Structure 1
Amino acid sequence: MPAHVPVPATESADDAPAAPSPEPAAPEPGPGPLGRERAHLTASRAALRAMREDVQSLDIRDVTANWVNAAVLEAQIEARIKALADLAHTPLFFGRLDYLLSAQEGQSFYIGRRHVHDAEGDPMVVDWRAPVSQPFYRASRRDPQDVALRRRFGYTGGELTAYEDEHLTDPEEVERTSRLLQAEIERPRVGPMRDIVATIQPEQDEIVRSGLSGTVCVQGGPGTGKTAVGLHRVAYLLYAHRERLARTGTLVIGPNRSFLHYIEQVLPALGELEVRQSTVDELVAHVEVRGADDARAAVVKGDARMAEVLRRAVRSHVSMPSEAVVVVRGSRRWRIPAYELQEMVRELLERDMRYGAAREALPQRIAHAVLVRMEQAGEAPDDRIQDAVARNPAVKAAVKALWPPVDPAKVVLRLLSDAAFLAEHAEGVLTAEEQAAVVWAKPPRSVRSARWSPADAVLVDEAYDLVRRTQSLGHVVLDEAQDLSPMQYRAVGRRCSTGSATVLGDLAQGTTPWATGSWADALGHLGKPDAAVEELTAGFRVPREVIAYASRLLPHMSPGLAPVSSVRENPGSLVVREVAQEERDAAVVAACTGSLAREGSIGLIAADDRVPDLARALAAAGMAHLEPGTETTAASRLTLVPASLAKGLEYDYVVLDEPAAVVAGEPDLRTGLRRLYVALTRAVSGLTVVHARPLPPELH
């Protein structure tokens, strides 16, 4: 059986605890295995400190050619110093592998969040992303992968306090769940999201280590770790393809700023400091968003058919020439007839080039036609002559008339404010009712005065791409992807058109009127129709009792979607409490007070319109609370969460106020049930439901 050696210590919520042992271990003579592991930890920390000091002592005064190179090198050194920081409450290593038969025979490798080497360059801690570390996550008794021993470590207060061994090639040892692994998965969470580098499961590791060239879509229910998998995949790709991604860039896209604040510490904890984070709204911020659409208008504006309407509207600015172009050079006049100009324009339109690129190509086409005539006349023009002809006033005037410059925002403005212009370009694409839904009742005077909505901003971004290609990144992670509209998928797809993506989501948690119904459709709009779709069905965080209760909603909102099978058993984790209407606020406060008596974070989730009343009730009770995304502060362990912002967040204990109000706060029953499903599955230790109104019948 696995050896487990605990050392009594005070447990800290910020560190991996030592798992309890059924019986005390006898004192070890001499330093013992635990003493030797502690000594290795001390030596590794000293080696990391020496690595940091070596970087800090670098003198670059005589190694750079100019101040620009010096500034770049200084920034790189500063980033390296930050990456080598020894975080006191973050274990330097969490596991060890002893190899048996391979090239590493007889060697031990300590697996941690970053690489640490001694003065001779020999590894003391191996990065979890290195190939030699992979068996820590995937080796099993059926497939030991040449590993004789896998050792896991437990920490308390930053100190190594326990270890647990698995002898993968010992036929006498009985296979059982690692208690240290289970304790790390279940330990209370205070503050922002943590990494899961010590607890990655084999099916998660396969996704994390999949190659850069392919796009991966991860369908995962609550508690399956899909967000953590996506972030660790970024960290792995930056390790395996650092030079390439340093050139092309990486981006993490989340549903809102609260969510991004919640996950922002994961990658820095893994040593990755340069990954940009954004929302879709921030990506497409060409215009100032000050307005909002009703559901009907937003659905139409988010439909992929709008891309064709925009394409037609942009290309409508092109006109066919009716007159010849005459270029004067010296004493000679060169005439390009109208029919030849028409062929040039028609060819560029048929090639479906971006509007701006075609506009730049047209003067070169005209200039080339002039050069052909010059050669036929016995002259020998070169490229410089062609460039000069392309800049000729007559050519420039013709191009301006035939292919005028276009302001993308003004094109969208005209579509949304001029019903006749919209009808002309939406014919056969949008119905008359759909066109009426998107046209503004009061047309604005200018781009600046318009009350653009988030959906309008996405249309403007599409129009910008029709004029000029959007820069592509090397890799994009898109989380909570089920809530994006087809046009939003297109906006994200433009940012990884020559790169790859990791798409994360749960179809059962789609809470927008335009939420996607299938990953095949979503990936098609993203421009990645051949992406591999992986499904995570094992839940590691949400207790079995809680996920089973929430899963009662699945047949009514996402029929055919398999429920999550939780591996966590936590009897008593679900409490459903009915109270009188006049006692509801007091009961919610009492439930929060009871949760605060336990260790970990608490989320009070309520329908958006109930949040002000609950805030007043908490203030009257003298209970401080936070807003979503501010959990990095130590002011309180209680967060008051509007149901609309709960997606993607996790709390040890959740108090859910009035489920019927959460459902009623959405425009339709299906969306309301999905919002409720999200709220019910934010708890990782316990859920208390307080209600005065009857529960939705779908929960019965």
Structure 2
Amino acid sequence: MSSNQTPRDEEEKRLLTVLEQVSRRMRKEMALLGDRRGDVVGIRQEFWDDVRMNFSDSTEVGETWSSIVQQAELLAERERSHRVASEAVERLTKQFDSPYFARIDFAETGMESEIIYIGRASLVGEDGETFYVYDWRAPVSSLFYDQEPGPAAYRVPDGKMEGELQLKRQFVIRGGQLKLMFDTSETVGDEILQAVLSEGSDTSMKSIVATIQKEQNWIIRDEKHKLLVVQGAAGSGKTSAALQRIAYLLYRYRETLGPDQIILFSPNPVFKGYISNVLPDLGEANMRQMTFRELIEARLGRRFEVEDLFSQTEALAAADGTAEGEARESSVRYKGSEHFFITVENYLKRLELDGARFRPLRFRSMTIVSAEEMSQQFYGIRAADGFGNRAAGLRRWLLERLRTWIDSQMNEPWLEEAAELVDSEDIQRAYVDVRRSGGFHEEVFDDEEQMSIRLRRRVAEETLAPLIKAVRSYRFLDAVATYRELFESRTLFTACSPDGKLPTGWEWMLQRVEETMGRKVIDHEDATPLMYVSEALEGFRRVEGDIQHVFVDEAQDYSPFQAAYLRRRYPRARMTVLGDFNQAIYIQSQANGGFGGWTRLMAPEATSVLRLTTSYRSTEPIVEYTKGILAAEDAVGIIPFHRKGEAPRVIACKDNGQLSEQIAASINELLAQGYGTIGVISKTAYESGNASALLKELLPDDVPVTLVTGGSAELPKGVSVLPSYLAKGIEFDAVLVWDASEVRYGKEKDRKLLYTVCTRALHILYIFHTGTVSPWLPKP
């Protein structure tokens, strides 16, 4: 650097050099993209013109087929090239906007210092050797996240590289222009964090690669442990770190790991949409993503009406304070517990010897195979072969019995009558079948009889098709009756219970199971145990062994039973679970310490438990205020990032009419101040529906007000009105709490729910209430 050139001058000059490289690459890729687009369009238009069509004999047909395949392969190759070029242009466009965010100067021991720039994606010169930018996931990039200037080291696949970190510099580059630049001795400088965190919220989560903190980087790059449990304060970047971890794993193991081998369990559909852009923004395809509700629906939803977690929450809120509500709460807590999981495990061991229930195969009034015959066949197979082999053996036996039964019905009146009613297409197919088998020539005398037999067989097979399909799907196993049996026998339950005792409210649970399942309705608390029993009887044939990594967000809301079930369903997968004890808002997990049974899923030496304490989402005044909602022991360790802002406001209203007017007025003010996302959060879905209707009447027509429901797939711009449990993991520029009164949030179980609601705010938190305010809010 010349004596009159400042570090900023040097960096701006270097930025221009990089942008020129990006521009040059982009021009090439755009030209290639145009060529490939022209190729694809041309091949599609001329596809059949270039295919030599000749069906005169078998040889010509073979050559015609080869010509079609060749042309199709050419088209597929050009389409792949077009897709690759398109992805390259998209990546380079992002790089032109912000090619890198950090620089480190590192001198390996005994070597000269090397200047390394770090960005979202690597950028290599045309010579294939000059690295202008290193990918943030490259081993050397960990120096930026983990080390301070001075002696430093980073790990590579072959060991460790040691040396001296001489400089750490951070940048904010937008639109190809250098906006901010800082030298820092910290892992990520506060100035950069201040700049990024002060930006407005959006309807989708952003990548955090430029602001990853040291403790987040440990989560992202951990390759040692099979189970990674992350307890993090609200807004501490748990989910962001998990998504960057997925991107890192896809980069680190790109030869052996694909996005379809990673699955993320999200808390709700809204959250799924909220995070859907993070990985594509980093140049990676999205992993598989689903909610636990979707898993239940896929397994049980076709045959039963299955209650979801949100409906359960609404039902419990409606019955709050009643004897029925208290009994249901007790049942929900118990059926999610580790005690019940052990009870079910012991029950399954007994079922290896006797007791599994079966559905008889019936056709009209006729029993083809009775439940007793199935039981004899099932238990006639050695116990050592396990449920899976027994179920598969019974399935084969039943299919053979169905074929034999069809043979026995060939001359029965019902079948002859049905065969007489077949349409002309069935007759034509029967004719073709007989002709292909050598019929309809002068030496054959029973052609009509053969056609009649084939028609009757076809009719019988089509009539029994639903029954055959049910057998192939293992529907002969009666998981519901088997599960109910556990509750219908007091002796059986106590024999399976780990302490030989019945749970409190066992009689109520028995009545509830009989009443709901008798109507083909499954309570949410019964869904996971029922799935577990069902899949155990089938030998866990549905386990997904190809999944290598399972991520569970908001893990504190899963019961120990659900945690154990997921472990069984993905037996070969490493697991990363993330949550916050202070946001355990559902009954099924509140009595289980937040994380329930997660830490006991794997051996201690394969498990790592990490804690994120700094809250980055909200301003310092909001974090300090929301800490006061929690019990003192729960708030210990939550540290606000020092970002200044407006203190939260608590606003008293005389009634709901004034409350809605005050909130509408606040929305108008906040929109005028430039806040893009505003969340109006009520306690229940019923309340949010009313709130949405009132606000739409009070606000101007050009103010978008969206009611967010359990089925919503994305978060809109403007004003979102939603119930408390759908706000999990989401953030808004401003949060307006709808009626934080003692009536709504007065019980101990409401404390963490109110904390969760209030911690959704980035910059502004207004809390409105009627009557007496919730006792959990800090006193002024």
Q: Provide, for residues 500-557 of structure 1, a one-character-per-residue CA deviation record: whole Å limited to 9, x for no partner.
A: 111100111101112164477522564465421100111222122111111123227x
**2:687 is equivalent to residue 610 of structure 1:** yes
Distance in 1 (alpha carbons) for counterparts of 2:30 and 2:379: 61
* Contact 1:417 1:443 (C-alpha < 8 Å) held by counterparts: no
Q: Spell out the pairing of 1:336-351 with structure 2 (5 A cutoff).
A: 349=383
**3-state secondary structure, aligned to 1:659:** coil
**3-state secondary structure, aligned to 2:741:** helix
**2:299 is equivalent to residue 286 of structure 1:** yes
Query: What residue is the counterpart of 1:97 in the other structure?
Result: 104
Query: What residue is the counterpart of 2:531 in the other structure?
Result: 461
**3-state secondary structure, aligned to 1:193:** coil
Distance in 2 (alpha carbons) for counterparts of 1:523 and 1:657: 34
TM-superposed CA distance for 1:693, in Å, is 2.4
* Contact 2:599 2:607 (C-alpha < 8 Å) held by counterparts: no
Query: What residue is the counterpart of 1:450 in the other structure?
Result: 520
**Which one of 507, 510, 514 corresponds to residue 436 of structure 1?**
507
**2:706 is equivalent to residue 674 of structure 1:** no
Q: Spell out the pairing of 1:661-700 with structure 2 (5 A cutoff).
A: 663-664=744-745, 669-699=747-777, 700=779
Q: Provide, for residues 632-658 of structure 1, a one-character-per-residue CA deviation record: whole Å limited to 9, x for no partner.
A: 676x42211211211111112111122
Distance 1:632 1:29, change over 3 A: same
Distance in 1 (alpha carbons) for counterparts of 2:111 and 2:743: 57
Q: Spell out the pairing of 1:257-406 with structure 2 (5 A cutoff).
A: 257-284=269-296, 285-288=298-301, 289-291=305-307, 294-304=328-338, 305-306=340-341, 308-309=343-344, 312=347, 316=351, 318=353, 349=383, 354-357=386-389
Distance in 2 (alpha carbons) for counterparts of 1:71 and 1:456: 51
TM-superposed CA distance for 1:577, in Å, is 2.1
Where do 5+ consecutive residues of structure 2 fail to align? 44-65, 154-163, 313-327, 356-375, 397-471
Total equivalences in the alignment: 601
Q: Provide, for residues 463-512 of structure 1, a one-character-per-residue CA deviation record: whole Å limited to 9, x for no partner.
A: 24313231232111111000111121122212442221111001111011
Query: What residue is the counterpart of 1:135 in the other structure?
Result: 143
Distance in 2 (alpha carbons) for counterparts of 1:451 and 1:603: 34
**Which one of 11, 21, 39 corresponds to residue 43 of structure 1?**
21
Query: What residue is the counterpart of 2:215 in the other structure?
Result: 203
Distance 1:33 1:177, change over 3 A: closer
Query: What residue is the counterpart of 2:359 in the other structure?
Result: none
Q: Give the letter aligned to residue 204 of structure 2.
A: P
**Which one of 624, 629, 637 corresponds to residue 553 of structure 1?**
629
* Contact 1:458 1:488 (C-alpha < 8 Å) held by counterparts: yes
TM-superposed CA distance for 1:682, in Å, is 0.8
Distance in 1 (alpha carbons) for counterparts of 2:642 and 2:476: 52
TM-superposed CA distance for 1:672, in Å, is 0.7
Q: Which has the higher helix share?
A: 2
**Which one of 590, 604, 612 corresponds to residue 536 of structure 1?**
612
Q: Provide, for residues 560-597 of structure 1, a one-character-per-residue CA deviation record: whole Å limited to 9, x for no partner.
A: 55241112231423222223324211111112222212
Q: Give the letter aligned to residue 221 of structure 1.
A: A
Q: Provide, for residues 69-111 of structure 1, a one-character-per-residue CA deviation record: whole Å limited to 9, x for no partner.
A: 8899788767645653235596232222333345874433321
Q: Give the letter aligned to residue 537 of structure 1.
A: T
**2:731 is equivalent to residue 639 of structure 1:** no
TM-superposed CA distance for 1:441, in Å, is 4.8
TM-superposed CA distance for 1:248, in Å, is 7.5
Query: What residue is the counterpart of 1:499 in the other structure?
Result: 573
Q: Provide, for residues 225-266 of structure 1, a one-character-per-residue CA deviation record: whole Å limited to 9, x for no partner.
A: 111111111111111122332398101111111111111111
Query: What residue is the counterpart of 1:626 in the other structure?
Result: 706
**2:123 is equivalent to residue 107 of structure 1:** no
Distance in 1 (alpha carbons) for counterparts of 2:492 and 2:751: 40
Distance 1:363 1:507, change over 3 A: closer
TM-score of the pair, normalised by structure 1? 0.75
* Contact 1:489 1:525 (C-alpha < 8 Å) held by counterparts: no
Distance 1:231 1:417, change over 3 A: same
Q: CA RMSD in A?
A: 4.2
Greater Rg by CA? 2
Distance in 2 (alpha carbons) for counterparts of 1:503 and 1:247: 18
Distance in 1 (alpha carbons) for counterparts of 2:7 and 2:151: 34
* Contact 2:145 2:187 (C-alpha < 8 Å) held by counterparts: no
Q: Spell out the pairing of 1:41-120 with structure 2 (5 A cutoff).
A: 41-47=19-25, 50=28, 80-81=84-85, 83-84=87-88, 85-86=90-91, 87-88=93-94, 91-101=98-108, 105-120=112-127
* Contact 1:416 1:440 (C-alpha < 8 Å) held by counterparts: no
Query: What residue is the counterpart of 1:161 in the other structure?
Result: 178
* Contact 1:570 1:685 (C-alpha < 8 Å) held by counterparts: no
Distance in 2 (alpha carbons) for counterparts of 1:47 and 1:642: 48
Distance 1:555 1:345, change over 3 A: same
Distance in 2 (alpha carbons) for counterparts of 1:176 and 1:241: 26
Distance in 1 (alpha carbons) for counterparts of 2:489 and 2:105: 71
TM-superposed CA distance for 1:412, in Å, is 2.6
Query: What residue is the counterpart of 1:126 in the other structure?
Result: 134
